[in-house]
Amino acid sequence: MNRWIYFAPAFLVLAIGGLFLYVMVADIDTKNIPTPLKDKALPEFALPSVHDPDEILRNTNLSDQPYLLNVWATWCITCRVEHPVLYRLAQDEGVKFIGLNYKDSRDEAIDWLAEYNDPFSKNIYDEEGTLGFDLGVTGAPETFFVRGDGTVAYKHVGEIDYDNWNNKLKAIYESL
């Protein structure tokens, strides 16, 4: 009986390994299976803008053109890596980004945009993460591809870099 205790570490590792495997398999599926919001309109919301607490942004007044809704935060290190790519895409290719500043502090967010350039044409301030919750945001960064009529076409989890942009995401954006 006592001997089996020595197998405990092996079982622990097995469990962790199984977790990794599951997450990786599931991850690949989430890339193929669209978000539950696919082809549905964005959830209703009314939240202030990052730069101006009095300006209320709603799902109805965001944009008439297709845009990318990018979930970001100053506490998110990957967003820092992604940020210059978004800026270049906005500048060079005219990609329209709307920011969703997620569970962040307004002052820090404004500082960050001042310091590292601002690729966003509008920026929603979601301090409590309520809109993030409705969108099913799993973490930052995450990007929703939204059509001109306000319906969601695609959701990208993780950072946007030139590789995945040129190989995949650009085509999705252009098809919006």
Partner 1 sequence: MIAELGFVALLLAMALSVLQSFFPMIGVVNKNLWLMQTGRPLTLGVFVMLTIGFLCLGYSHAVDDFTVAYVANHSNSELPMQYKISSIWGGHEGSMYLWIYILSGWALAVSIFSKSLPRENLATILAVMGMVTLGFLLFLILTSNPFERILPIPPEDGRDLNPLLQDIGLILHPPMLYMGYVGFSVAFVFAISALISGNLDSAWARWSRPWTNIAWVFMTLGIALGSWWAYYELGWGGWWFWDPVENASFMPWLMGTALIHSLAVTEKRGMFKSWTVLLAIFTFSFSLLGTFLVRSGVLTSVHAFAADPERGYFILALLALTIGGSLTLFAIKAPGLRSRASFTLFSRESFLLINNVLLSVSCFMVLLGTLYPLIFDALGLRKISVGPPFFDFFFTKLMAVLILALAIGPLLKWKKNEYKTLKKFAAIGAVASIALGFIAMYWYGNGEINFAVWLGLSLCFWLGFGILKAFKDNTRNAKSFMGGLKKLAPSFYGMQFAHFGMIITTVGVVMVSNYETEEDIRMAVGEAVQYDEYEFRFEGAYPVIGPNYSAMRGEMLVFRDDEKVVRLSPEKRNYNASGQIMTEADIDAGLMKDLYVSMGEELNSNGDWSVRIHIKPFVRWIWLGTIFMSIGAVLAILDRRYRKTIKVKN
Nearest Cα to Cα of residue 87 among 106, 66, 61, 112: 112
The first and second tokens of residue 160, run together, are 């946007």
Q: With binding defined as CB under 8 A, does residue 19 bind partner 1?
A: yes
Residue with Cβ nearer partner 1 (62 or 86): 86
**Residue whose token pair is 């669209």:** 34
Tell whether residue 3 is a contact of partner 1 (CB under 8 A).
Answer: yes
Interface residue with partner 1 among 40, 77, 130, 174 (CB under 8 A) is 77
- Residue 166 CB, shortest distance to partner 1, in Å, is 12
Structure tokens at 159: 């950072």
Confirm or reject binding of residue 1 to partner 1 (CB under 8 A): no
43 upstream amide cis, omega within 30 of 0: no
Question: Which position has the token pair 């539950």?
Answer: 36
Structure tokens at 100: 């969703």
126 binds partner 1 (CB under 8 A): no
What is the rounded CA–CA span in Å between residue 8 and residue 95?
Answer: 53
Q: Pick the binder of partner 1 from 34, 36, 139, 148 (CB under 8 A).
A: 139
Piece of 16-24, 32-40, 46-54, 63-71 that binds partner 1 (CB under 8 A): 16-24
**Parallel/antiparallel/unpaired status of strands 97-102 and 120-126:** parallel
Length of the chain (residues) = 176
Task: Evaluate whether 34 touches 172 at the Cβ level (below 8 Å).
Answer: no
By CB under 8 A, tell whether 29 contacts partner 1: no
Among 17, 34, 53, 148, binds partner 1 (CB under 8 A): 17
Quickly tell me which residue has 């990208």 as its tokens.
156
Contact range with partner 1 by CB under 8 A, out of 11-19, 33-41, 45-53, 119-127: 11-19
Footprint on this chain of partner 1 (rule: CB under 8 A):
2-3, 6-7, 9-10, 13-14, 16-17, 19-24, 26-28, 75, 77-78, 80-81, 84, 87-88, 111, 114-117, 138-139, 141, 158-159, 162
